[in-house]
Structure 1
Amino acid sequence: MTVFSDLVAGYSRFREQGWAEERERWARLAEGQSPKVMVIACSDSRTDPAMVFDTSPGEIFVVRNVANLVPPFETGGGRHGVSAALEFAVTQLKVEEVVVMGHGMCGGVHASLTDRFAQADPGEGGFIAHWIDLLDEARDRIVAEHGTGEDAVHALELETVRVSIANLRTFSFVKEAEAAGQLKLRGAWFSIRQGVLWVMDDSGTFAPAN
């Protein structure tokens, strides 16, 4: 099990090796960032997008949350971490692509399908329940079609990507950039078990990446 002291030891290795070997890169990054891609991924510890996509620091702007979800545009109530990051990426960094990446064995999807936290208070699962209720409509449709078995789990994992992309288009600055050809929205799903990335096409269909 990794604990904080292990992380500090890892930092020491990074300082001696990774940072030292790419000191010029870090010096450039200290002047600012200009990533071309934003990735919205799950917080799951097994699906680090920098590792999956084999990127270096400064190459992707990343937001991670439970079940890689994007809420629809709204101005009232609560905090808007995903919305703020999206706004910064699209309007300030001028990213050219936003990628939503789901993954296999997603705990958020499992919680949605099982209604595990449906009656929980905040601090006991209530925050999770309120977040994943973004999937309620999709979940109900999938359960009606597939039940609640493995097929339903996989279907809802893919649907998290489609739901998030649909919600991205509720933000006017995203729609405007996309319409102007300045922004492309993309979807992907990563299989932890197989180590395979599936990419979504314009019709919403997923296929393994070449």
Structure 2
Amino acid sequence: MERLVKPLPAYLVGRYQGWKATSYEENKSWYRRLADEGQRPPMMVIACCDSRVNVNEMFGAQTGDIFLHRNIANLVPPYEPDGDPHGTSAAIEYAVTVLKVAHLIVVGHSNCGGVAGCLDMCAGKMPELEEKSSFIGRWLDILRPGYERVKDMTDPDEQKRALEREAVVESLSNLIGFPFVQSAIEAEELSLHGLWFDIREGALEGYNPQAKGFEPV
């Protein structure tokens, strides 16, 4: 352990010190209030780990605005209280039952590497992801129902974009299966939203359940 864990790189130390001297100093009272009173974010966002998707910047969020959870391909697993660790499910439970967020938003995006990996795995092009030992593969199994809905598409680019949107739809469907999510929705204390973000164009689409499709925001 002593030989493997290293000090923070100098450029990151410099960035931190710059933030501490500017943003923190200018908003010190707000940070102290958040520390003393706790967080009360109005929304939870489930987004992809992709570094190109900056949800806080996209929505102009300030510190304390968004309870943000990231994972590969912005997926929500089915409700399975089986005793195993479930990081995403735990984050959802905390947001809904403890923080009592009013909005739960799933954000998918273009050029998603996780979705591309799911396509290749389901098409038999990446057998390494089929291995039981692959954390990525077993996580992407969540999206297999979405793959079944797009597998007959002939245009590879259109198929990939369709599956990126299916990742959002599948996650919304799984969210409704969580009893505490369903209860909060029925009590009109929580609303679900699904979005797809085009990185190149900066365009945002929202899922319309009535039309069963995505529309420009």
TM-score (norm 2): 0.89
Alignment of 1:113-132 (within 5 A): 113-115=119-121, 116=126, 117-120=128-131, 122=133, 126-132=134-140
Shift of 1:143: 1.3
Q: Is the 8 A contact 1:113 1:148 kept in 2?
A: no
Unaligned runs of 5+ residues in structure 1 are: none
**Alpha-carbon distance between aligned partners in 2 of 1:139 and 1:88, rounded to the nearest angstrom:** 30
Does residue 182 (structure 1) correspond to residue 193 (structure 2)? The answer is no
Paired amino acid for 2:93: E
Contact 1:91–1:173 (CA under 8 A) maintained in structure 2 = yes
Which of 69, 78, 94 aligns to 1:72? It is 78
Q: Tell me, what secondary structure is at the counterpart of 1:63?
A: strand
User: Does the 8 Å contact 1:118/1:129 carry over to 2?
Assistant: yes
Unaligned runs of 5+ in 2: 1-7
Letter in 1 for 2:18: R
Given that residues 44 and 105 in structure 2 are in contact (C-alpha distance below 8 angstroms), is that contact kept between their aligned partners in structure 1? yes
* Aligned mate of 1:107, from 113, 121, 124: 113
1:33-80 Cα offsets, whole Å, 9 max, x none, are 000100000001111211221201100101000000000110125311
Match of 1:15 in 2: 20
Kindly indicate whether the alpha-carbon contact (under 8 Å) linking 1:37 and 1:96 is maintained by their aligned counterparts in 2. yes
Q: Is the 8 A contact 2:129 2:136 kept in 1?
A: no
Pair 1:191 & 2:202 matched: no
Q: Which runs of 4+ in 1 moved over 4 A?
A: none
RMSD between superposed Cα atoms in Å: 1.5
Residue equivalent to 2:9: 4
The percentage of aligned residue pairs carrying the same residue is 40
**Structure 2 CA distance for aligned equivalents of residues 134 and 201 of structure 1:** 22
Distance 1:46 1:79, change over 3 A: same
2:126 equivalent to 1:158: no
CA distance in structure 1 between the aligned counterparts of 2:110 and 2:31, rounded to whole angstroms = 33
Q: Distance in 2 between matches of 1:6 and 1:192?
A: 27
Aligned to 1:172: 179
**Cα distance in 2 for residues equivalent to 1:81 and 1:88:** 11
